[in-house]
């Protein structure tokens, strides 16, 4: 979809042959050329660009590492900082190149992130997102800080969340009160619960922050606004008086990133600290807003806010690809059991192992495409919004919001599950730190709660679909969205009276089933919502809360899966791909689609979309046939699995797993990890605690008596 | 079930009132007395015993800790060792007390484990399991080592797994060759892949090991035997010459435990190192086995081997309870959003949050009972086996093997999912290390792969059920198992022609549905297996492998759920419990049962056990009604949820979570964690890397050119 040419030779110089070894057995059976597939999926520019970054890392001692190392939090922080500085120094790409090929933006994120997510986030938060906030919210007077950031004279942080308020940003309580006498804002933290928390880069290093606070002027609150606030002296890296700033310590993962907390105590900032593109104060403190077309602004804002989620989806897909690369390669080499008096089987030969892993391989292709397709929509929106002033801007923004919300949630969960399944599929050795699964799982974990808790995000999607349904049914509007994700809702009535197409090898049958699911759940949700409105005396908040589980939540989930499959089919159809690539891509699409659909079988039965076995005269057994098709697809993909993983596996240095190296020499690499870890052969320096310091073993009765007396 | 009396006052002295705070709101609404419930579930002896241990820990500076601390691996190892020594010193219980109340055994494991699993495992592996191996496999000549272990003069390790062989122990390749000249065994590691790995306590501290190796004598291999091998000098803690021993470094979790690896290089041990209860050598090296009744021995061995799994089930249930205690309390205090112009809602008020967490609360009750009930069976088996020489011994052993295999797998996964759901349900703050979710998840993770990979264990269960099915159908035997878990299979034909009972509030309807599922999947599996035998030219290994997914695997899963529910109903029926306890226990049982059953709805539809909506004249909509009943049970449990968590939550010191304290003061405790973590307010000592050492920012074009030239 991106390559001008699919001649695998064009990238042979940067994609060398895989080293020979135990993986040859399966690589030699692949039905397609992995470089050709990679070219099709990523395009030559992206492949070369990522390769350039990774080579630079590999050649730089500052980026050296091993899968078994155990840095302390201090060491992680320091090296993340030094590597960030190096990234600024070796700026790999300029804005012009980004404009020529916007796919280099996610390529850069992925290249850094698959190496280390803390570094990726530290870069994004301290520079990119900070600059984006200042640029979209501020004016020329804020350019100085932006330039300082670009020149590494300053480091930014975004400060939103408070201890007691995350998702519900309207309820933030940090106050910025205008003092006309000094032409300053006075920032205050009203109490402990309003302490700013979780802000990345704030913990140790940020010099400036974009702070979200309630704007008060002349005794009136004007709601949440953003302020560009200096927080640390860039000459000393010490916080300014009036601020209490700290590092919030160890997290589940991402410990290279310094998340911080902050309290304001009558901290004064100048009037022009307000990011004033949409609202400003006069010198006497009169509030003026420049907002005009509210609904257009809202749609635009939704689109811009989707940016974070769009990139989280990329992070999720990257983690999915990393995890499944490791477990697939390991499973192709690890042998255990086998038929009596025959050679032991590589565990990838077992049906259970195939079924555990291959749907995630399929998902990594389908969701890779989902991401690229959504990103393309996002770029179209940005161009439409900023360059062309497109009339579709608001609709584009809303649709992006809808799709990126469920996409972030579902890709987050899918990657989570793929990492866990991969970890377990690697058995005991998967429990080694050197497997990289702990780091992957712990770093990925944040994706499921930040930028919106996944369950809350699913509500954004279902709310959008409910709105469209009402427009269609109550206002008889035609549904036509800029990116087409919801257009099938126009045929809701026809779809709802249709039945399952029994040709399961045609992915269009599955799309049809998904369209039915979405329409069915939408109609059922509207019905339940009406009942609940009745029960709750028309309190929509309560009614919606009571309609989430099995209704609106399932609606958003099936909508996402439907959209992901549709986008994949669109990709398959948009050009004539070489047949050897096309046939395996089709199998992957079908496997993902059936494996996802299988989880919704009960709804299909309940709704009468598929026949139950007990119905006379009908020979189509949907559960049986869907499941058998899944198993048969898994079986067919077996000999291609390693090569499918090769397509998206980063180089060994980046993959950094003793279980997943491209040479397949799992035992040699595990042995390396065992014998090279710190102190592997050392006697503990406290050994005399055993050899000399022997315990006096109390008789139990004594202890019991003593303890009982104590209590 | 264990308490002689249910007067809550009898334990009021060791179970103080909860501190007043934000949780009062829900605690005051509970419909039952938490102490009375705790007495019913654990019994007074266990409550007092665990309390005694926990108080001793809390009063001992060596056991002090905080949720935000970040020990290095070295520190974790050292403190685990010192705490182990203290456990030996303060022996809390003697064998006589264990015999009087066998429930003290799991109580001890749980009390230590909920505090720290590394400590619990280090104790089990270095003493208990080692002694069990030596006692069950060896003879008097091995008592010296056993006594040394008991007196802390020696520390044991069990050495089984090799780098290339875990589950398939028959294929281990470490050799023990008898040398009649010196009356010694010579131990050798044939190659890198046969390196012994993963052995707990071996890494740094074990002085002795029970080593599994192939016994060779007079040029013949007699298969795997166990040898009691000295590995480190107990005066110096240095390994003996001929051994290469190392510590395998950092793991995903359990880093207080020193797992190790070992290679043998012509390492000689005396002839009496062989654990010779069942087989021995003459001085000339003639092999003699004392095995008589093979099938009885096998059944007995299966029973004994179940021990490890039975205790892993306890560990899983404990982790489930710990996780859900934290997330339930947090959800009852954390507020976010709410109806317009009304107070914000505690997140536990949201349907989604209830549905995410309450089934796990229900599971923690049902599986607590499952564990206790299975443990009782295990004790009966041990008494029957060792004391009474029961004729049922082999059958008991096989049944324990069957139930503990699927039980370990399913409780492992359920706890895994409960921890993850809890972590996500606590949103951003759940990502703090101080939440304890990382430790819980990382430590628990091992349970899903050690002592048998979960998917492999499910095969043990399904194999047993297949065997019974054949006995019933082909040999017309009556199925009557000692513990009754499979007795309903006798009614297979009747069950298979029955339909779902529509009274979903009667848990017997759900048990009936589960019995149907097991019978149905058993029959279907036998059918598929026959087809596959045909396709695989009667190769049973291949045929079974091809019948796992959707068949034998699902069979084992539904069998487990059926058994867990049956055991819970048995507990509810075995005595007259006070009505206020009984009614909530019934709700919990029903919620767990329906929530589990809901996942199998498609099979029920497919099999015609429930009617599809499209069938005329039938008003029962199973999917709808099962789901609505689940939601309504969640809703009804809401006001009891905190108190249900209180029943099994360990004291705050043991829970060790800034989010889950019993006083509900989540923000105060989180703030403590933020401000007390190491270096919270320190400027990093490398700050000059930012303030002085500024990067020279290359122009991009230069870099690009340079990089391109390099590549």
Q: Are residues B262 and B304 in the same domain?
A: no
pLDDT value for B578: 94
Residues linked to residue B281 through DSSP beta bridges, in sequence order: B287
Give the gap in angstroms from C-alpha B575 to the nearest C-alpha of chain A.
31
Cβ-nearest to A667 among B78, B81, B163: B163
For residue A70, being part of any structural domain is answered with no
Give every residue of chain A whose pLDDT is below 70, as ranges.
Answer: 1-5, 291-292, 388, 613-616, 698-711
Say yes or no: A554 and A650 in one domain. yes
**Does residue B448 sit within a domain?**
yes
| Residues of B in Cβ contact (< 8 Å) with A438 | 252-253, 442
Token digits for B405? 């295999």
Answer yes or no: do A689 and B261 touch at CB < 8 A. Answer: no
> Residues 477 to 516 of B: which have CB under 8 A from any A CB?
none
Tokens standing for A519?
């329409």
HEC per residue, A507-522: HHHHHHHHHHHHHHHH
Buried b (16+ CB within 10 A) or exposed e, A667-697: bebbbbbbbbbebbeeebebbebbbeeeeee
Q: Give the global pTM.
A: 0.97
B205 reaches A (C-beta below 8 A): yes
Query: Which residue does chain A place closest to B86, by CA atoms?
Result: A695
Which of B236, B269, B286 is at the close of a domain? B286
Calculate the alpha carbon distances from A596 to A558, A569, B553, B604 in Å.
Answer: 9, 15, 19, 19
Token pair 């992995």: residue: A34
- What's the CA gap between B589 and B451, in Å, rounded? 29
Distance between B291 CA and the closest CA of chain A, angstroms: 24
Q: Enter the DSSP assignment of A251.
A: B
Closest by CA to A679, choosing from B383, B56, B459, B73, is: B73
Report yes or no: B624 at the A interface, CB cutoff 8 Å.
Answer: yes
B451 is an active site residue:
yes
Give a yes or no: residue A145 inside a domain: no
- Residue A698 to residue B89, Cβ atoms within 8 A: yes
Q: ipTM score here?
A: 0.96
Helices (H), strands (E): how many in chain B? Answer: 26, 11
Distance from CA of A482 to the nearest CA of B (A): 32
What's the pLDDT at A616? 66
The domain that holds B175 is classified in CATH as 2.40.110.10
Contact flag A671-B251 (C-beta cutoff 8 Å): no
* Whether residue B241 is found in the same domain as residue B309: no
Q: Is B155 an interface residue toward A (CB < 8 Å)?
A: yes
Do B396 and B480 meet the contact criterion of CB atoms below 8 Å apart?
no
- If asked whether residues A341 and A393 sit together in one domain, one would say yes
Residue B4, pLDDT score: 52
Looking at chain B, which residue has its C-alpha nearest residue A91? B700
CA angle A616, A617, A622 (to 5 degrees): 85
Considering only residues 352 to 371 of chain A, which have any Cβ-Cβ distance to chain B shorter than 8 Å?
Answer: 352, 355-356
Are B270 and B403 members of one domain? no
Asked if B304 and B207 sit in the same domain, the reply is no
pLDDT given for residue A612 in this prediction: 81
Interface A-B: count of C-beta contacts within 8 A: 427
* A350 CB within 8 Å of a chain B CB: yes
Task: Name which of B164, B601, B707 is nearest A56 (Cβ-Cβ).
Answer: B707
From the CA of A408, how many Å to the nearest CA of chain B? 14
Of A450, A546, A700, the CB nearest to B94: A700
Residue B396 falls inside a structural domain = yes
3-class secondary structure per residue, A254-318: CCCCCEEEEEECCEEEEHHHECCCCEEECCCCCEEECCCCHHHHHHHHHHHHHHHHHHHHHHHHH
Angle subtended at Cα A454 by Cα A451 and Cα A459, rounded to the nearest 5 degrees: 105
Residues A278 and A426 occupy one common structural domain: no
Contact list, A240 vs chain B (CB under 8 Å): none
Same domain, B275 and B252: yes
The residue among B695, B702, B706 with the most chain A CBs within 10 A of its CB, best to mutate, is: B695
Among A384, A381, A524, CA closest to A465: A524
* Chain B environment of A251 (Cβ under 8 Å): 431-433
Interface of B with A in 631-670 (CB under 8 A): 631, 667-668, 670
Residues of chain B neighbouring A164 (CB-CB closer than 8 A): 335, 667
Looking at A334-350, list the stretches that DSSP marks H as alpha helix, in order from N- to C-terminal side. none
- In DSSP notation, B237-296 reads -PBPTTEEEEE---BSS-TTS-EEEEEESSEEEEGGGB--SSEEE-TT--EEE----HHH
| A279 and A340 inside one domain | no
Q: Is A541 on the interface with B (CB under 8 A)?
A: yes
Q: Say how many domains are in chain A.
A: 2
Q: Are residues B415 and B524 in the same domain?
A: yes
CA distance A235 to chain B (A): 5
Q: What is the DSSP string of A185-218?
A: EEEE--SGGG-EEEEETTTTT-SEEEEEEEEEET
| Residue B276 shares a structural domain with residue B403 | no
Secondary element (H or E) of residue B224: strand B220-230
Domain presence at residue B99: no
Residues B234, B206: contact at Cβ < 8 Å?
A: no
Residue span of the structural domain in which B176 resides: 156-286
pLDDT per position as a tens digit, A341-392: 889 999 999 999 999 999 999 999 999 999 999 999 999 999 887 776 778 8
Kindly state whether residue A101 falls inside one of the protein's structural domains. Answer: no
DSSP labels for B454-495? HHHHHHHHHHHHHHHHHHHHTT-PPP--TT-TTGGGGGHHHH
Query: Which A-chain residues 13-42 have CB contacts (< 8 A) with chain B?
Result: 13-14
Cβ-in-10-Å burial (0-12, 13-18, 19+) of B615 comes to: middle
Residues of chain B with pLDDT under 70: 1-5, 291-292, 388, 613-616, 698-711
Q: Are B126 and B149 in contact (CB under 8 A)?
A: yes
- The minimal CB distance from A541 to the residues B86, B339, B612 is found for B339
**Which chain B residue has the Cα nearest residue A167?**
B336
Q: Does some domain include residue B62?
A: no
In this structure, the answer to whether residues A297 and A271 fall within a common structural domain is no
Q: Does B65 touch chain A (CB under 8 A)?
A: no
Q: Among A285, A309, A342, give the residue marking a domain's end.
A: A285
Does A99 map to a domain? no
Domain end, chosen from A285, A301, A320, is at A285
The number of C-alpha atoms within 13 Å of A344 and in the hemisphere containing its C-beta is 16
Of the residues B399, B439, B451, B561, only one is catalytic, namely B451
Task: Measure in Å the smallest separation between the Cα of A275 and chain B Cα atoms.
Answer: 27
Indicate which CATH number applies to the domain containing A378.
Answer: 1.20.140.10
Question: Which residue in B673, B424, B563, B446 sits closest to A444, CA to CA?
Answer: B424
Centroid of chain to Cα B690: 48
């Amino acid at each position: 979809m991106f390559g001008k040419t699919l001649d695998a030779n064009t990238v042979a110089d940067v994609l060398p042959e895989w080293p020979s070894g135990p993986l040859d057995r399966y690589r030699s059976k692949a039905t397609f050329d992995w470089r050709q597939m990679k070219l099709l999926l990523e395009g030559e520019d992206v492949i070369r660009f990522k390769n350039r970054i990774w080579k630079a890392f590999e050649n730089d001692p500052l980026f050296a590492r091993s899968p078994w190392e155990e840095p302390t939090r201090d060491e992680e922080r320091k090296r993340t900082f030094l590597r960030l500085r190096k990234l600024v120094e070796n700026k790999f790409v300029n804005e012009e190149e980004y404009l020529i090929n916007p796919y280099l933006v996610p390529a850069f994120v992925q290249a850094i992130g698959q190496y280390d997510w803390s570094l990726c986030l530290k870069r994004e938060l301290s520079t990119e997102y900070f600059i984006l906030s200042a640029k979209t919210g501020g004016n020329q007077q804020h350019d100085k800080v932006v330039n300082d950031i670009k020149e590494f004279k300053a480091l930014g942080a975004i400060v939103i969340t408070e201890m007691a308020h995350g998702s519900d940003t309207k309820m933030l309580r940090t106050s910025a009160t205008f003092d006309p006498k000094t032409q300053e804002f006075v920032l205050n933290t009203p109490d402990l619960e309003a302490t700013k928390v979780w802000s990345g880069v704030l913990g140790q290093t940020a010099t400036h922050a974009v702070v979200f606070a309630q704007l008060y002027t002349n005794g009136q609150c004007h709601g949440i606004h953003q302020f560009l606030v200096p927080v640390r002296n860039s000459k000393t890296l010490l916080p300014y008086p009036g601020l209490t700033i700290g590092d919030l310590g160890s997290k589940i993962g991402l410990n290279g990133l310094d998340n911080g907390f902050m309290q304001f105590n009558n901290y004064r900032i100048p009037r022009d600290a307000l990011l004033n593109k949409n609202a400003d104060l006069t010198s006497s403190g009169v509030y003026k807003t420049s907002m005009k077309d509210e609904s257009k602004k809202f749609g635009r804002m939704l689109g811009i806010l989707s940016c974070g989620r769009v990139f989280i989806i990329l992070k999720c897909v990257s983690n999915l690809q990393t995890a499944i690369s490791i477990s697939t390669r390991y499973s192709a080499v690890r042998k255990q059991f086998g038929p009596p008096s025959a050679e032991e089987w590589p565990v990838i030969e077992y049906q259970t192992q195939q079924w555990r892993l291959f749907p995630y391989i399929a998902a990594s292709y389908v969701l890779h495409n989902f991401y690229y397709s959504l990103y393309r929509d996002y770029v179209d929106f940005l161009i439409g919004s900023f360059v062309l002033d497109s009339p579709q801007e608001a609709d584009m923004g809303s649709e992006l919001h809808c799709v990126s919300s469920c996409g972030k949630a579902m890709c987050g969960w899918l990657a989570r599950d793929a990492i866990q399944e991969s970890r377990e599929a690697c058995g005991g050795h998967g429990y080694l730190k050197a497997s990289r699964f702990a780091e992957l799982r712990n770093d990925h974990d944040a994706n499921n709660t930040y930028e919106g808790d996944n369950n809350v995000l699913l509500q954004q999607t279902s709310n959008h679909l409910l709105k469209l349904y009402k427009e269609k049914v109550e206002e008889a509007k035609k549904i036509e969205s800029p990116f087409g994700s919801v257009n099938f809702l126009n045929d809701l009535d026809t779809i709802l009276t249709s039945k399952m197409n029994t040709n399961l090898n045609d992915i269009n049958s599955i799309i049809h089933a998904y369209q039915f699911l979405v329409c069915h759940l939408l109609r059922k949700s509207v019905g339940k919502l009406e009942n609940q409105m009745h029960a709750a005396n028309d309190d929509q908040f309560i009614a919606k809360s009571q309609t989430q589980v099995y209704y609106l939540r399932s609606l958003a989930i099936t909508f996402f899966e439907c959209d992901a499959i549709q986008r994949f089919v669109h990709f398959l159809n948009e050009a004539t791909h070489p047949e050897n690539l096309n046939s395996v891509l089709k199998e992957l699409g079908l496997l993902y689609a059936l494996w996802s659909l299988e989880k919704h079988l009960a709804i299909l039965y309940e709704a009468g979309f598929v026949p139950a076995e007990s119905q006379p005269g009908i020979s189509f057994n949907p559960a049986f046939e869907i499941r058998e098709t899944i198993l048969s697809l898994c079986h067919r993909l077996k000999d291609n699995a390693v090569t499918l993983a090769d397509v998206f596996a980063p180089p060994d240095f980046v993959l950094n797993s003793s279980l997943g190296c491209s040479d397949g020499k799992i035992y040699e690499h595990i042995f390396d990890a065992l014998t090279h870890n710190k102190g592997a052969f050392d006697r503990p320096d406290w050994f005399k605690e055993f050899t000399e310091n022997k315990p006096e073993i109390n008789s139990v009765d004594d202890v019991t008596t003593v303890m009982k007396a104590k209590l």
